[in-house]
Amino acid sequence: MIWLIFIAVMLLSWLIQTTLQSRFNKYSRVPSPHGLTGADIARLMLRQNGINDVTVQSVRGRLTDHFNPQDKTINLSESVYGSASIAACAVAAHETGHAIQHAQGYAPLRLRSALVPVVTFANNTVQWVLLLGILLLDRFPELLWCGIALFAMTTLFSFITLPVEINASQRAVQWLDGAGIVDERTRPMAADALKWAAYTYVVAALGSLATLFYYISIANDRR
């Protein structure tokens, strides 16, 4: 049964990633109504929300866009920073949504930030602990449960990420619409791009949960 779930999650993940790439490529060719670039959008959205201590900068790579609360920077990939497309506007507004969450003390974001050190440790050690736990299951079953506990932290983190990402997208679409950045034709495009991006986090969380149940089943079968 667990393998059927894994296969279903993998197929769903492939479908969502393929659709997301297709939609972003499509909307990257649609110019924003006012010709504003991703960098323009981020700076304007920050300014209208009264945030003056966040820097918008360009970073290398594709899909490397993120907000860093440590140094208060919105990092936009080169294809977003200087692009005046609907896709770039949507991505920039989404990342700025995270900056607004941080400024307003959005509770799920605070919780996620608090878990970062624990999850970083878990990510760096969990694979080795799980591997050793499976190899030494007959002699030292507690080690596998330690690995399961570490993996559970990463699963919890992926589910806490969901409301953070969804809320940032909601903020982005509402602001783009309210500020008149998008019109009746382009608003659905921006919303659609962010919707498919959010689906990737949903599938990642479900995949992590399925993997957690898999390791739990291994531990229980050897009791």
Catalytic residue among 95, 142, 165, 184: 95
How far apart are the C-alpha atoms of 1 and 148, rounded to whole Å?
Answer: 20
95 assigned to active site = yes
How far apart are the C-alpha atoms of 101 and 66, rounded to whole Å?
Answer: 13
How far apart are the C-alpha atoms of 110 and 113, rounded to whole Å?
Answer: 5
Looking at the chain, how many residues does it have? 223
Which residue in 12, 114, 98, 82 sits closest to 49, CA to CA?
98
The residues, ordered by sequence, that sit 6+ positions from 21 with a Cβ below 8 Å of its Cβ are none
Q: How many CA atoms lie within 13 A of 134 on its CB side?
A: 11
How far apart are the C-alpha atoms of 56 and 98, rounded to whole Å?
Answer: 13
Across the chain, the runs of DSSP E, i.e. the strands, are 55-59, 66-68, 73-77
Across the strands, what pairs with 185? none
| DSSP sequence for 91-139 | HHHHHHHHHHHHHHT-HHHHHHHHHHHHHHHHHHHHHHHHHHHHHTTTT
The residues annotated with a catalytic role in the active site are: 95
